[in-house]
A and B are shown apart, each in its own frame.
Chain A
Amino acid sequence: MKISRKIAGALALSAAAAVVLAGCTSRNDPGQTAEPGATDGASTEDLTIAFVPKLQGIPYFEAMNTGGQQAAEELGFEWLYQGPTTADAAAQADIVRSFIQQGVDVLFVAPNDPNSMAPLLEEAQAAGIHVATTDTDAPDSVREVFVNQASVDGIGEALTDTLLEAMGGSGQYAIVSCGETAANLNAWIEVQEAYTASEYPDAEIVDIVYAGEDQAAATQMATDLMNSHPDLTGLVGECTSSAPGVAQAVEDAGRTGEVFTVGLGTPQSMLPYLESGSSSGSILWDVEALGYLTGWAGVQLATDGDLGDLSGVDNEALAEAEYDESTGVLLLGPPTVFTAENAGDYDY
């Protein structure tokens, strides 16, 4: 008994240590230098630009990170990248606070919850940090610029056009969305509804369901939708987890060619479905270019540069980027439609 207690103690201790260590590796990125007191208008040499994604470790934000690192190398600044391991507003807030304490020069956030992020951004600004949003906006905040991947209209219309082209311009379709309160997804859906009603009078959105970020749930819901609407000929997967999910449901039901799908999926995850025909197209944007544009915008903010002047940018993926000064939105350009032909060219 005594021995087993000792073993138990040792095991519990090592488990506790491991958990603590796990916490450390995800929280503290070695190599980050804390420089208290942000400095404005310095040369880009000692400029630190931090980006807090919604979620670390998913290919989407890793691709943005790649783009940001590329910008850091070419433009010469330090790029810091750290996000929560679950799309959790509180965990994200902790990371934002740690960047405020480190006194970075520019702080980019893709907020999980724009409302709760707003006061934190104010705090950062009060500490002398340039604050901005990228990928997802916090509209009622002090952010100086929002780097937008694609306009809401652009995404909504591209999704609708691609799907309706496959459906022959008419018929019933349904949307499998993800987070029920996700502002960007809901904005796209609104455009899809209005655009479908005005441009495709013979088409109808019969249902909108929410699967969370769960691929299997999205697939099951798509299956349920096909069953409850026998005349359904189209499905939209509104986020990167439901886009392959709805295509998989069509394949599993053996209805490829009868029910068409489109979605916002990363090229690599959609490739098998684009090739088999269960997905008619994936609408997204060049995520690496978005990361690059974010890094570039950070430099402009810190050096009081002109966000509207992209002439000095040597990156053809940013050729169509434009800045709207009245709204403070820096737009990457129109969305990209990935098909079986070009999806293989991207490694995310």
Chain B
Amino acid sequence: MTTDTAAPVRSAQLSLRRILPPIVTGQEIVLLAVLVVLWVVLGIFTPAFLTPGSIGPLLVQVAPIALIGVGMTFVIITAGIDVSVAAMIMVSAVTTARMLVAFDIPAILAVLVAVVIGSALGALNGLLIAYGRVHPIIITFGTANLFQWLGLRVFDSSTVNGIPSTLEFFGRGGAGSTFGVPHSFAIAVLAVAAAWWFLRYAKAGRNLYAIGGNQNAARLAGIKVQPRLVWVYVITGALAGLAACMVIATGTATLDQSVGSGKELQVIAAVVIGGTSILGGRGSVVGTLLGAILVQTVVSGVTQLGWPTQLGFLFVGIFILIAVGTDLIRERTRRRA
């Protein structure tokens, strides 16, 4: 028994030292370089890619993905996944939009409502995953359907029409930026900065890497695995709620049931392209932010170059495969070493 426990503790300590993230990772530098090259090339070959009127809306579009990406990075670092974020956006967005229309609630209250709903849904995910010991993809796939049902009930077979511009602070229009910086993107960057600090310097943050590296070892090393996991999913839910406000603000005056759909895959794509290992134990929020910007750059770039829309899928797919491939190669060489 003693030998059984001693080995994981050692490996936990080892993995703790090994997995502490460097200040900038290689993948981040590569991503940044790719981004710079893409922006320069697009700046040359399109009339207006590098103008405020183009970059501003692009960053607004990136913001909700990057924001949820912070939570998703935490989740994936713990070797989990959350495929219910799109449905959480839907529930938060439709409830908030209905309250905006019915009671004309102020922006602060709208944000609060959305974040509280997102957190509650995230808490359900977290509790089921931490204490149910079923793989997160199964749990969140289940709750995604549950949330979808909940959202459709709130929609009540009709769209939400005539949403007031209460949340324009997060929007694409003039009220959505200060000195040319879109508020929603600034919020996403702040969240990324806070998460970067948390993962690097806070004990609870570093624990997440240990949990993802080897959950049993982490538990034996005295880490409170279950509460940590619950919080990770609560944070993801809360960020999905905040992102729902951005989705309302950047959408039209009408909200339909397609709101949020596909966002879970966009977020996971950003996280994976950002260099976070889908196997857990390694990852960076800065990479996620860059990944989110890269994906939207590709999609917008394809449109602005006048290329067929479908090429966007091809390029994003290639980026994901390259990122995952690099990760797996890295993992294999490490195991061999």
Contact = CB atoms under 8 A, between A and B. Distances in A.
Given A15-B142, A241-B256, A269-B252, A253 B161 contact: no
Max chain B C-beta neighbours (<10 A), residue from A220, A229, A241 = A220
A62 B257 CA distance: 13
B7 to A, nearest CB: 22
Interface in A163-211: 180, 206-207, 209-211
Interface in A209-266: 209-217, 219-221, 223-230, 240-241, 244-245, 247-249, 251-254, 266
Interface in B216-263: 226, 247, 250-254, 256-259, 261-262
A143 B48 CA distance: 50
A268 interface: yes
B169 to A, nearest CB: 13
B47 interface: yes
A268 B149 contact: no
Interface residues of B, number: 57
A187 to B, nearest CB: 19
Interface stretch (A6-14, A28-36, A299-307): A6-14
B310 A241 contact: no
Contacts of B48: 227-228, 230
B161 A269 contact: yes
Interface stretch (A17-25, A93-101, A144-152, A308-316): A17-25
Contact of B143 (A15, A249, A252): A15
A12 B132 contact: yes
Contacts of B49: 227-228
B292 to A, nearest CB: 13
B159 A268 contact: yes
B3 interface: no
Contacts of A207: 303, 306
Contacts of B132: 8-9, 11-12
B149 A22 contact: yes
A79 interface: no
A269 B253 contact: yes
A85 interface: yes
Nearest to B256: A58
A226 B58 CA distance: 13
Contact of B252 (A23, A26, A209, A245): A245
Nearest to A246: B252
Given A18-B146, A210-B310, A268-B161, A221 B134 contact: no
Given A26-B149, A214-B258, A216-B251, A15 B128 contact: yes
A11 to B, nearest CB: 5
B106 interface: no
Q: Classify chain A: how many residues form its interface, as a range.
A: 35 or more
A229 B162 CA distance: 30
Contacts of A23: 145
Given A12-B134, A220-B300, A227-B47, A271 B162 contact: yes
B172 interface: yes
A309 B172 CA distance: 52
Contacts of B180: none
B173 A19 contact: no
Nearest to A244: B252
A128 interface: no
Contacts of A223: 54, 57, 172
A4 B252 contact: no
B92 interface: no
A16 B262 CA distance: 23
A227 B128 contact: no
B253 A58 contact: no
Contact of A228 (B143, B162, B303): B303
A216 B256 CA distance: 11
Contacts of A328: none
A303 B198 CA distance: 72
A277 interface: no
A210 B131 CA distance: 43
Nearest to B304: A228
A334 interface: no
A57 B226 CA distance: 38
Interface string B286-297: 000000000010
A76 interface: no
B131 A4 contact: yes
A180 B309 contact: yes
B20 interface: no
A219 B309 contact: no
Nearest to B251: A215
Interface in B172-226: 172-174, 226
Given A7-B131, A230-B48, A58 B309 contact: no
A59 interface: yes
Interface string B124-151: 1001100111100001001101101100
A280 B159 CA distance: 22
Contacts of A19: 142, 145-146, 149
B2 interface: no
A348 B254 CA distance: 11
25 contacts: A8-B127, A8-B132, A8-B133, A11-B127, A12-B128, A12-B134, A19-B142, A22-B146, A25-B149, A59-B256, A62-B157, A209-B303, A215-B251, A220-B57, A225-B303, A227-B48, A227-B53, A240-B256, A244-B253, A245-B252, A247-B252, A248-B172, A252-B173, A266-B159, A272-B162
Given A8-B132, A230-B48, A273-B252, 4 more contacts: A215-B252, A215-B259, A220-B296, A253-B57
Please name the 5 residue pairs, one residue from A and one from B, whose CB atoms are nearest each other, closest first. Answer: A22-B149, A269-B254, A244-B252, A228-B304, A8-B131
